[in-house]
C-alpha cells in the first residue's frame, strides 16, 4: 500500500490521522520534533493499530534531515503537513518564531517533495482565514472572503495557503488539498490518544476536562453579552476522529487522480454551531460532573460566531462529521481520566 509522510504526526490531529491511515492499509512515516507532543503517542498509536508506525525525530525546518527522510523512504507518494506552532496567544507574543517555524517548515517540505518527485500534499489549514464572517456568509462555505488575520498564527495559515497556490502555479505536477478545520475536540474512543496541551489549555474542551478533573479551580467563560442565543461565543466543534477521516479521503482522492482542480479547498465542520455554554452544560449532563465556572469579560481576538457549511466536503470527498456531540464530549472525559491515573 502507498506510503504517506505525516509531519507533526504525534500531535493531536496528526496522531488520530495516522491511526485512520494505518487502519485503511496505508504505510506511514511520521516526522516530528516533539515540540508539542511526546514519544508516548507512538505507543498509543501502536496499541490501537497493532503496528508501530515508522518514525523519524526531525524538525521540518531542517532541509538536510528532511532530504534524508525522503531518501530513506523512496516509496513516499504523498505528504500530510500538520507540523506547525498553533497557540494564538503565543503567536501574538512571539510572531517571528511563528513565521520562521510555520512558513519555513512548509517551504522546506515542498522543496524536498519536488526534489524527490512527490507530487501530492494535504495541508492542515484553519477556519481562522475567514475571520468573523459577515452575516450573509454564515454558515461559512469555501467562497466566503478571506479576511485579515487576527493573529500571526492565523496569518501563517493564510500565507501558507498562498505559498501552496503559487508553487502549484509554477509546478504543473503538484496536487494539493487544503483542509480548513473548524474546532477539533474529543479523543480516540480507545482513550489511548487524545489532546494533551502543554501548560494551561488555550482551547475550551481541555480546560473543561481539566476543571472536571480538579486540575483547574474554575472555568472562565469569556463574555455572555454576544449577539447569540445565550450570549456566549458559538463555534463548530468537530470530532477529531471524524476530522482525521477527512484526511484519508483527501489522500485517496488525490492518489486516484479524481481531483478536478490542482488545488482543492474544503471546509471541515459539522455544519452546526454550538455555544460555549451549550458545550459546558452538555458535558455536565453526559458525565454527571459539575463544572464550576465564572462569566468574565470578553477576550481580545475572540470571534463571536462561526460555523461551517460542509456541503462541498460531504458531496465531493464523500465525508461527513456526524458523531453525536454527547459521544465526543464523553470521549474527551474518558481520555482526561486516563491520563490523570
What letter would DSSP give residue 340? Answer: T
Question: Angle at Cα 266 formed by Cα 304 and Cα 239, nearest 5°?
Answer: 65
The catalytic position among 12, 130, 153, 181 is 153
> Is 153 annotated in the active site?
yes
Beta bridge partners of 182: none
Q: What crossing angle do the helices spanning 40-49 and 12-23 adopt, rounded to 10°?
A: 30
Question: CA–CA separation, 49 vs 178, rounded Å?
Answer: 27
CA-based Rg of the chain, rounded to a whole angstrom? 19
Question: CA–CA separation, 215 vs 232, rounded Å?
Answer: 24
C-alpha cell at 132: 468573523
The runs of H, that is alpha helices, within 188-239 are: 204-212
Helices (H) and strands (E) in the chain, counts: 12, 13
What letter would DSSP give residue 181? Answer: E
Residues whose CB falls within 8 Å of the CB of residue 130, separated by 6 or more in sequence, listed in order: 137, 140, 144, 145, 146, 147, 180, 306
What are phi and psi for residue 294, nearest 5 degrees? -135, 135
How many beta carbons lie within 10 A of that of residue 297, not counting itself? 10
Pairing of strands 237-239, 120-126: unpaired
Asked if residues 193 and 43 have their Cβ atoms less than 8 Å apart, the reply is no
Point out the residues that are catalytic: 153
Amino acid at each position: 500500500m502507498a506510503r504517506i509522510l505525516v509531519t507533526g504526526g504525534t500531535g493531536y490531529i496528526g496522531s488520530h490521522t495516522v491511526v485512520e491511515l494505518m487502519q485503511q492499509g496505508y504505510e506511514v512515516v511520521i516526522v516530528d520534533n516533539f515540540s508539542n507532543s511526546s514519544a508516548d503517542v507512538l505507543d498509543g498509536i501502536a496499541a490501537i493499530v497493532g503496528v508501530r508506525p515508522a518514525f523519524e525525530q526531525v524538525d521540518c525546518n531542517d532541509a538536510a534531515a528532511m532530504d534524508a527522510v525522503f531518501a530513506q523512504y523512496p516509496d513516499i507518494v504523498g505528504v500530510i503537513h500538520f507540523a506547525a506552532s498553533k497557540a494564538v496567544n503565543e503567536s501574538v507574543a512571539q510572531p517571528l518564531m511563528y513565521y520562521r517555524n510555520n512558513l519555513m517548515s512548509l517551504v522546506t517540505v515542498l522543496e524536498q517533495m519536488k526534489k524527490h518527485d512527490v507530487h501530492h500534499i494535504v495541508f492542515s489549514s484553519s477556519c481562522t482565514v475567514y475571520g468573523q464572517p459577515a452575516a450573509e456568509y454564515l454558515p461559512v462555505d469555501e467562497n466566503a472572503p478571506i479576511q485579515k488575520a487576527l493573529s500571526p498564527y492565523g496569518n501563517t495559515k493564510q500565507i501558507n495557503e498562498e505559498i501552496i497556490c503559487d508553487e502549484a502555479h509554477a509546478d504543473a505536477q503538484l496536487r494539493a488539498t487544503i483542509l480548513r478545520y473548524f474546532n477539533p475536540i474529543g479523543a480516540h474512543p480507545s482513550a489511548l490518544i487524545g489532546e494533551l496541551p502543554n501548560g494551561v489549555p488555550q482551547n475550551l474542551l481541555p480546560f473543561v476536562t481539566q476543571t472536571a478533573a480538579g486540575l483547574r479551580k474554575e472555568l472562565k467563560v469569556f463574555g455572555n453579552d454576544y449577539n447569540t442565543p445565550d450570549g456566549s461565543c458559538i463555534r463548530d466543534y468537530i470530532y477529531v476522529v471524524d476530522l482525521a477521516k477527512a484526511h484519508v479521503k483527501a489522500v485517496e482522492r488525490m492518489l486516484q487522480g479524481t481531483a478536478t482542480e490542482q488545488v482543492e479547498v474544503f471546509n471541515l465542520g459539522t455544519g452546526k454551531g454550538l455555544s460555549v455554554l451549550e458545550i459546558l452544560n452538555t458535558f455536565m449532563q453526559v458525565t454527571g460532573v459539575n463544572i464550576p465556572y465564572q462569566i468574565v469579560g470578553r477576550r481580545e481576538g475572540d470571534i463571536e460566531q462561526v460555523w461551517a457549511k460542509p456541503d462541498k466536503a460531504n458531496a465531493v470527498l464523500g465525508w461527513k462529521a456526524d458523531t453525536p456531540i454527547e459521544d465526543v464530549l464523553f470521549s474527551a472525559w474518558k481520555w482526561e481520566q486516563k491520563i490523570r491515573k
